[in-house]
Amino acid sequence: MADRQQTDPAPQWWSRPEGTVEDGRREGVPAPRPEAGSGSDGSGSDGGESGGGGGTIGGVTFGSEPVGEPSGGGEPAQQAADAPAVRYDPWAAVPLQVVDRGRTPRGIRLWQVVALSLGTALLAGGIGGYAGVLAERRSNTRLELPQAAAADKGRAPESVAGIAATALPGVVTLHVRGAKGSGTGTGFVLDQQGHILTNNHVVADSKEIAVTFSTGESVTAELVGRDSGYDLAVVKVSGVRGLQPLSLGNSENVKVGDPVVAIGAPFDLSNTVTAGIISATGRPVTAGGDKGDGSDISYVDALQTDAPINPGNSGGPLLDAKAHVVGINSAIRGADKDDPTRQGGSIGLGFAIPINQGKRVAEELIRTGRATHPVIGVTLDMDYTGDGARVGDKGEDGKPSVVADGPGARAGIRAGDVITKVDGQRVRGGDELIIKIRAHRPGDPLTLTVLRDGRESTLKVVLGSANGS
Identity (one letter) of the amino acid at 433? L
Of the residues 314, 330, 346, 401, which is catalytic? Answer: 314
- The answer to whether the CB of 200 falls within 8 A of the CB of 228 is yes
CA distance 355 to 303: 10
Q: Is 346 a catalytic residue?
A: no
416 conformational bin, left if phi > 0, alpha if psi -120 to 50, beta if neither: left
3-state SS class at 363: helix
Q: Is 314 a catalytic residue?
A: yes
CA distance 196 to 236: 6
Q: How many CB atoms lie within 10 A of CB 407?
A: 23
CA distance 406 to 462: 10
Of the residues 175, 195, 201, 373, which is catalytic? Answer: 201
8-state DSSP, 341: T
CA distance 469 to 462: 22
8-state DSSP, 369: S
CA distance 234 to 195: 7
CA distance 377 to 411: 10
CA distance 228 to 295: 8
Distances (CA, A) of 315 to 265, 351, 455: 10, 11, 44
- The answer to whether the CB of 422 falls within 8 A of the CB of 434 is no
- The answer to whether the CB of 459 falls within 8 A of the CB of 411 is yes
Strand runs (DSSP E) across 36-119, as ranges?
A: 55-57, 60-62
CA distance 372 to 351: 22
DSSP assignment of 109-171:
PHHHHHHHHHHHHHHHHHHHHHHHHHHHHHHHHH-----PPP------TTSHHHHHHHHGGGE
Q: Is 231 a catalytic residue?
A: yes
CA distance 4 to 420: 163
Of the residues 206, 228, 231, 324, which is catalytic? Answer: 231
Enumerate the active-site residues. Answer: 201, 231, 314
